[in-house]
Structure 1
Amino acid sequence: MTNRYKSNELILYIEALFVAAGMDLDKSAIVAPLLVEADLMGHTTHGIAQAPAYLSGLENGLMKGTGDPLVVADKGATITWDGRRISGVWLTAKAIDLAVKRAKKYGTATIAIRRSGHIACLAAFLPRATERGCMIELASSDPSIASVAPYGGTEPAFTPNPIAVGIPTSGNPILIDISASITTNGLTGRLFSEGKKLPGDWVQDKFGQPSNDPTVLFTDPPGTILPIGGKEYGHKGFGLALMIEALTQGLSGLGRADPPEGWGAAVYLKVTDPDAFGGAEEFIRQTSWLAESCRRNPPADGVESVRLPGDNAFANRAEALENGLELYPGLLNGLKEFSDKFNISEPKPI
């Protein structure tokens, strides 16, 4: 028996669980494929791994599976939503679709969302815009949670604050998915539960001493994740975190200056139609040249070849679709209690 599964069967399984837990069918039909898409791309901490927390959220009210966002403001090219704790994956997907439509009219469209549910893997959303010829910027934070210290500090002030950018080219798009911190809550939590160490000194203890041991994050008081650049150059990640907090929380009008409301997200996205600027053809000519120039760059010793952000994701996806998606060990265990509760059978490995 292998640990590989057909992706379409995983989607149907997770979709059925969400519907059984009270999510609208149309929402689950968007959320489930995007979670599986994250695993197809190789982002194993922010795809199917999030489903148990989402199902729990539907049960305890921290996440809603029904309804629509409240429109706070709509100026045509700029929109603000109150997500009302609805599934952040669904909200973000719908916001991108709307932003693409508006960008085709106005050139650019920006949407800020407050009170969104958690939005999972940012990279999985990017093709919704790039496949329609648009460039997209997407960022997220959670004003109710803090695990990353500001540069030079020792107490948590931010979330890891991911930011992603999708750039169309003549081939596969460039899919940038990074965060303002060296690592994520998902990875440190997984390694902590498995009793493993981080690859480097990506965290610090409560006294500010760098460490590769995720257990320092689970002390009282806790240590913190370090910003990009670590102890030496962390001002870079610190600056990026501040920008993301302003875009996601400042523009949406709800953030850390307000009382915490529970696990969720503040979201910022901007879609740009190159045709409204120097022209779509010229945009693709430039981005394609840049991409190929990087790939042709002579590799350093020990490096097989230069790859662009997204290259591995597309390779992983193609291999998984052909041979079955190999799941991270134990990934489906977190869904067993829900399978039993709702009498929904798990998919069988290939």
Structure 2
Amino acid sequence: MRVPTAQALRLGQRILAAQGVPADIAAAVADHLVGADRAGYASHGLSILPTYCKALEAGLVNGDGRPERVQGKDALQAYDGHNGLGQYVGKAVFEQAIAHAGRHGQCIFTLRNTHHLGRLGHYGEMAVAAGLVLLAFTNVTNRKPTVAPFGGGAARMTTNPICIAVPLPDDRPPFVLDMATSAISLNKARVLAATGQPAPEGALIDGHGHPTTDASVMFDDPPGALLPFGAHKGYALGLAAELLAGVLSGGGTVRNIPAREGATANNLFALLLDPKAIVEPSWYLQETAAYIDYLVTCPPQPGVDAVQYPGEYEALSRRQNADSVAYEGGNWDGLVEAATRLGVADALPG
């Protein structure tokens, strides 16, 4: 079904407020989740909220947690999220880091001990809206490993997403690369399992190390594992993210069995850069525009409409979802159940 955007936002805010989450935090989280739906990423949209509700009810997440700068000077900053809801914590930290980058031309920063940050592309879009380039690495803790290393038959890593964002001129959609270093994300596997759709070939192994396209194996006992994208290449990038985000932030790696399993946590290592600080602005604008033109005018392969760059898909999805967003099957059922159980069923669309 399709739900008007304003009603989806209200539903998310009401579900969170019913669990004692402050209004400003609830608004930031709902805005991020519905924004992911509008950008075409249901795996990181409002349908994930029932999972957050369970973590809040179990006391595994601080609904009123806010970030704190624990170390730093000028363009080098370190933050602790105090186990707060990641979409709010991430927004608050990125706003501070963007301000530092505006003053110093750059900002290198880390964030530890925050609940799930959500769609990293959201923060890439914040960066490019300020005219900044972003390079970000994350790792995942407080859950058992979900990704097998290259050649491995069991999980020893997690999806460890990376994000690279670059502003482009002439009102073009910005370049925003946001990807897990696994072939698919765990939330994507969750959506595929809920809707009965197959996973891509080469994305999963079952609990015995055998290839499969059945995403439900991730939730079996013993569980299956996601595979790195691009074999050894995705594996190496995932390992880089584990070391940069997990170790440099002080938040740790996925090596230990989590103490708060059931409440996914992220650590982050990121760099924001003002391109005007290192390259002549008019040349930057001319060269990026010229290269994107050169790129997208490449003759497409048979069966392909046109060459696109990362960021165009999201811009098109937002235009298509300007006024409403779609929720299907078990994803919508979970929201209805959560709203009903928390006494805010009146926020559901009639």
TM-score by length of 2: 0.91
Instruction: Name the CA shift for 1:203/1:131 in 2 (closer, same or farther; >3 Å).
Output: same
Q: Provide the C-alpha distance between the structure 1 equivalents of 2:328 and 2:285, rounded to a whole number of angstroms.
A: 36
2:162 counterpart SS class:
strand
Deviates more, 1:201-210 or 1:41-50: 201-210
Aligned pairs, number: 342
Aligned twin of 1:139: 137
Query: CA-to-partner distance for each residue in 1:111-169, whole Å, 9 max, x for gaps?
Result: 21111100111122222111111111233221233110111111211111111122100
Aligned twin of 1:150: 149
Query: What does 1:41-190 correspond to in 2, within 5 Å?
Result: 41-145=39-143, 146-170=145-169, 171-190=172-191
Q: Provide the C-alpha distance between the structure 2 equivalents of 1:20 and 1:179, rounded to a whole number of angstroms.
A: 32
Tell me if the contact between 1:99 and 1:270 (Cα under 8 Å) persists in the aligned partners. no
**What is the one-letter code of the residue matched to 1:165?**
I
Aligned twin of 1:235: 232
Tell me if the contact between 2:177 and 2:310 (Cα under 8 Å) persists in the aligned partners. yes
Aligned twin of 2:316: 315
Q: Provide the C-alpha distance between the structure 2 equivalents of 1:57 and 1:280, rounded to a whole number of angstroms.
A: 46
Unaligned runs of at least 5 residues, structure 1: none
- Measured after TM superposition, the shift of residue 207 of structure 1 is 4.3
Instruction: Name the CA shift for 1:68/1:194 in 2 (closer, same or farther; >3 Å).
Output: closer
Query: What does 1:288-307 correspond to in 2, within 5 Å?
Result: 288-307=289-308
2:176 counterpart SS class:
strand
Q: How many percent identity over aligned positions?
A: 27
Deviates more, 1:206-215 or 1:241-250: 206-215
Q: Provide the C-alpha distance between the structure 2 equivalents of 1:221 and 1:337, rounded to a whole number of angstroms.
A: 28
Instruction: Name the CA shift for 1:344/1:279 in 2 (closer, same or farther; >3 Å).
Output: farther
Instruction: Name the CA shift for 1:69/1:21 in 2 (closer, same or farther; >3 Å).
Output: same
Q: Provide the C-alpha distance between the structure 2 equivalents of 1:207 and 1:337, rounded to a whole number of angstroms.
A: 34
Tell me if the contact between 2:148 and 2:225 (Cα under 8 Å) persists in the aligned partners. yes
TM-score by length of 1: 0.91
Q: Provide the C-alpha distance between the structure 2 equivalents of 1:225 and 1:331, rounded to a whole number of angstroms.
A: 21
Instruction: Name the CA shift for 1:59/1:206 in 2 (closer, same or farther; >3 Å).
Output: closer
Unaligned runs of at least 5 residues, structure 2: none
Q: Provide the C-alpha distance between the structure 1 equivalents of 2:224 and 2:343, rounded to a whole number of angstroms.
A: 39
Instruction: Name the CA shift for 1:342/1:110 in 2 (closer, same or farther; >3 Å).
Output: farther
Instruction: Name the CA shift for 1:328/1:267 in 2 (closer, same or farther; >3 Å).
Output: farther
Tell me if the contact between 1:23 and 1:58 (Cα under 8 Å) persists in the aligned partners. no
Deviates more, 1:333-342 or 1:22-31: 333-342
Aligned twin of 1:328: 328
Aligned twin of 1:32: 30
Q: Provide the C-alpha distance between the structure 2 equivalents of 1:339 and 1:197, rounded to a whole number of angstroms.
A: 29
Aligned twin of 2:249: 252
Instruction: Name the CA shift for 1:218/1:32 in 2 (closer, same or farther; >3 Å).
Output: closer
- Measured after TM superposition, the shift of residue 310 of structure 1 is 1.4
Deviates more, 1:183-192 or 1:88-97: 183-192
Q: Provide the C-alpha distance between the structure 1 equivalents of 2:236 and 2:335, rounded to a whole number of angstroms.
A: 38
